[in-house]
Structure 1
Amino acid sequence: MIEWLATFLTSSPTPDLLRLVAVPVFAWAAYRDVRTRRVPNRTWLPLALLGIALLAWDIYRATTGIMVGDLVERERFYLRVALSLGMVGSIGYLFYWFGGFGGADAKALIVLAVLFPTFPEYIFPTTALPLTRTTVGVFSLTVLSNTVLVGAAYPVFVTLRNALSGHRAPIMFIGKPIRAADAATEYGSLLQTPEGFSRGGLDLDALRMYLRWRGTTLAAVRADPERHRDPASLPDDPNSPGDGSVPDGDDVTGPVEADVATDGGDDAEVAGRDAAADVTGADADAAPYDDPWGAAAFLDDIEGSAYGTTVEDLREGLDVLAAEDVVWISPGMPFIVPMFVALVVSLVYGDLFFKLVSLLV
């Protein structure tokens, strides 16, 4: 063990050893992303500065011939750096710009592009990691392709889990059923509207912002939906909506209602709930409110956007949550989780996608 560690520390390039700092940082970021869907901005700046310093070190080593000896290898190194920064870094920014990534996801990918432009090398007595390398040689691209493969396995897991637990519906491939009463403590988006299943329903972060803004709870909304649907019930002095994160206390969920089996069927009932409080879509249409639920007032009052939520998204989502006992939401694996797994796989093995393609051709 001591020999392995000594060889690892003395034979591996120092810049590559320093790059391993990214592993615990990404592990922590993945944990935060699962628990809160929030990763502080301060997470990425130190890694970005480290990446810039190590890249400058590598460029110096390449230019002076310490890292690569001949002109061809130096040119390949410069090309790989350019591809990492220009292509992988740009992918992170463009996906964020078009709404495909969250801010933390984009920053994480940009940091990887700076920190790992080329394949690192870790030397042990009998082997070297990563075990395989690609012809292109852009390590951040390897991490990205491995991330896609790891992330693609998640919908398969969701589908199998739903099928084995008896939750069969057209949306079972991308969603999971939960108690409607628990929606305020979940992350994701509703996959339902009053008309049926939808892939673009209410963002649950926006739901929490709305509840905080008007100083109520989801339990209160479900207990008396008609009063909350009336815009006259809006507070004169609304609260700050916050950022939509799940709080530590119960200020969003309110009292826990009686248990209900989330069997995805139409016969699920909540014991003790007043049947008169169930307001269907038809009953909601009968209420002649100019602004049902005060949805327009909420979006007009807050600064910025509630995660792209529209007035109709909020109204329809509240209608569903007030009337249903079981709802489907997108489970939405945080992108940094498969990115962390892919980083570890890439450092140990290399490019899974490259290996799969080589096996097929």
Structure 2
Amino acid sequence: MLDWLGTVLTESPPPDLLRLAAVPVFAWAAYRDVRTRRVPNATWLPLALLGIALLAWDVARVSAGDLPGGLVARERFYLRVALSLGMVGSIGYLFYYFGGFGGADAKALIVLAVLFPTFPTYYLPAASLPLTRTTVGVFSLTVLSNTVIVGAAYPVAVTLRNALSGHLAPIMFIGRPIRAEEATAEYGSLLQTPGGFTRRGLDLDALRMYLRWRGTTLTAVRENPERLRDPASLPDDPAPPGDGSIPESGELAVEGDDEATADGGRRGEAGGGGDAQAATGGGGDYDDPWGAGAFLDDIEGSAYGTTAEGLRDGLDVLAEADVVWISPGMPFIVPMFVALVVSLVYGDLFFELVSLLV
């Protein structure tokens, strides 16, 4: 064991050893992403600064001729750095810009592009890691392709689980069923509307924001749907919506619980609304059912891209259904962390699969 560790520490390039600091940071970020779907921005800045410093170190080494292969090797190094920063880094930004990634996912990929532009090398007594290398030689691209492969295994597992448990539906390949009353304890998106299945349903973070804003609970929505569908039942002084995250306790705390009515109606008599104004009987037609439009107009931001119609559809489903389908909501940083470890040890899975087929 000591011989193995001594070889790694004494024979491997120092910049590559320092790059291993990314592994525990990505492990922590993956854990945070699973538990809270929130990764602080401060997570990525130290890694980005480390990547810039190590890249400058590598450039100095290459410029000084400390790289086997002469001019050709130097040209390949600069090309690989350009591809990593220009292509992989841009992919992270563009996916975030067009809504394909969350902010943390994009930052993580950009950090990888800066920190691992080329393949690192870790010498063992009888081998060196990664065990395989690509001809392209852009390590951040290897991590990205491995992330796609690792991430693809999750929907397969979800599908098998649904099939084995007897939950057969057109949406079984991308979703899983839960009890409707438990929706506020889950991350992901609702995959249903009153008209059927959808790929772009209500974001459950936005649902928690809405419930907190109007000082009510999903239980109240299910017990009093007609009353809460009436916008006249909105509180006079809505609470801050928060960011939609699930508290560590797992319980959705509601601002002003001591003032809120049991069914989430107006607080007290201020504004003259009260029960008389809110009670219209079942089945009424409203300009703004559930107060969805008022919620989005009142809060700062867009509630994760939620529209008033999407919020209304989601509330209609959750108010009536016993079982609903939601997206698994697997954070992208989780397969990215697994892919980083696989890439450091083995190399590029996709490249090896293609090599076997050719």
TM-score > 0.5 by shorter chain: yes
Contact 1:218 1:253 (8 Å CA) reproduced: no
Equivalent position amino acid for 1:345 in 2 = V
**Equivalent residue number for residue 76 of structure 1:** 76
Segments of 5+ residues of structure 1 without an aligned counterpart are 255-283
C-alpha displacement at 1:231, in angstroms? Answer: 0.6
Equivalent residue, structure 1, for 2:60:
60
1:301 aligns with 2:298: yes
Deviations 1:31-84 (A, max 9, x none): 111111110000000000000000000000000011345011000000000000
Contact map agreement 1:81 1:118 (CA 8 A) in 2: yes
Would you identify which runs of 4 or more consecutive aligned residues in structure 1 move more than 6 Å?
A: none
* Alignment-mate amino acid for residue 135 of structure 1: T
Amino acid at match of 1:172: M
Alignment match, 1:257: none
Kindly provide the amino acid, as one letter, of the partner of residue 303 in structure 2: A
Identify if the C-alpha distance between structure 1 residues 250 and 148 changes in structure 2 by more than 3 Å, giving closer, same or farther: closer
Aligned residue in 1 for 2:259: none
CA-CA distance at 1:290 after TM superposition = 1.3
Equivalent residue for 2:138?
A: 138
Counting only pairs closer than 5 Å after superposition, residues 169-184 of structure 1 correspond to structure 2 as 169-184=169-184
Distance 1:216 1:348, change over 3 A: same
The 8 Å contact of residues 181 and 253 in structure 1, kept in 2 or not, is answered as: no
Q: Tell me how far apart the structure 2 counterparts of residues 171 and 83 of structure 1 sit (CA, whole Å).
A: 37
1:314 counterpart residue number:
311
CA drift at 1:286: 3.3
C-alpha displacement at 1:250, in angstroms?
Answer: 6.1
Matched, 1:204 2:201: no
Q: 1:219·1:253 contact (CA, 8 Å) conserved in 2?
A: no
Distance 1:106 1:250 in 2: 27
Task: State the shift of 1:127 in Å.
Answer: 0.4
SS of 2:325 mapped into structure 1: strand
Q: Tell me how far apart the structure 2 counterparts of residues 310 and 348 of structure 1 sit (CA, whole Å).
A: 44
What is the CA–CA distance in structure 2 between the aligned matches of 1:41 and 1:98, rounded to whole Å? 20
AA partner of residue 193 (structure 2): T
- Alignment of 1:327 onto 2:330: no
- Residue aligning to 2:33: 33
Partner of 1:110: 110
Q: Name the structure 2 match of 1:278.
A: none
Q: Return the letter of the residue paired with 1:348.
A: V
- Residues 185 and 251 in structure 2, CA contact (< 8 A), matched pair in contact too: no
> Counterparts of 1:1-361 in structure 2 under 5 Å?
1-249=1-249, 252=252, 286-361=283-358
Q: Secondary structure at the match of 1:286?
A: coil
Structure 1 counterpart of 2:20, one-letter code: L
How far apart are the structure 1 equivalents of 2:313 and 2:282?
11
TM superposition shift of 1:332: 2.0
- Structure 2 CA distance for partners of 1:87 and 1:192, relative to 1, 3 Å: same
Cα 1:197/1:285, change in 2 over 3 Å:
farther
Whole-Å separation in 2 of the counterparts to 1:251 and 1:60 = 53
Q: Distance in 2 between matches of 1:296 and 1:304?
A: 13
| Alpha-carbon distance between aligned partners in 2 of 1:249 and 1:220, rounded to the nearest angstrom | 20
Give per-residue Cα distances to partners, 1:328-359, cap 9 Å, x unaligned.
00012110000000000000000000000001
Separation of aligned partners in 1, 2:351 and 2:304: 36
Return the alpha-carbon distance in structure 2 between the equivalents of residues 107 and 67 of structure 1: 30
State the one-letter code of the partner of 2:120: P
* CA distance in 2: counterparts of 1:193 and 1:149, whole angstroms: 31
Give distance in 2, aligned partners of 1:102 and 1:135.
Answer: 31
Which letter does structure 2 place at the counterpart of 1:334? P
- Conserved? CA contact 2:191–2:326, under 8 Å: yes
Per-residue deviation at 1:248?
3.0
Sequence identity percentage: 81
**One-letter amino acid of the counterpart of residue 289, structure 2:** P
After TM superposition, the score normalised by the length of structure 1 is 0.90
1:344 aligned partner, one-letter code: V
Q: Match of 1:327, SS?
A: strand
- CA distance, structure 1, for counterparts of residue 20 and residue 247 of structure 2: 33
Q: Matched residues in 2 for 1:68 and 1:243: separation? A: 52
In 2, Cα distance between the equivalents of 1:307 and 1:321?
Answer: 19
Q: CA deviation at 1:249?
A: 4.2
Contiguous gaps of at least 5 residues in structure 2: 255-280
Give me the whole-angstrom Cα distance separating, in 2, the residues matched to 1:252 and 1:124: 50
For residue 253 of structure 1, report the CA deviation from its aligned partner: 7.6
What do you get for the CA RMSD once the two structures are aligned?
1.3
Letter of the structure 2 residue corresponding to residue 295 of structure 1: A
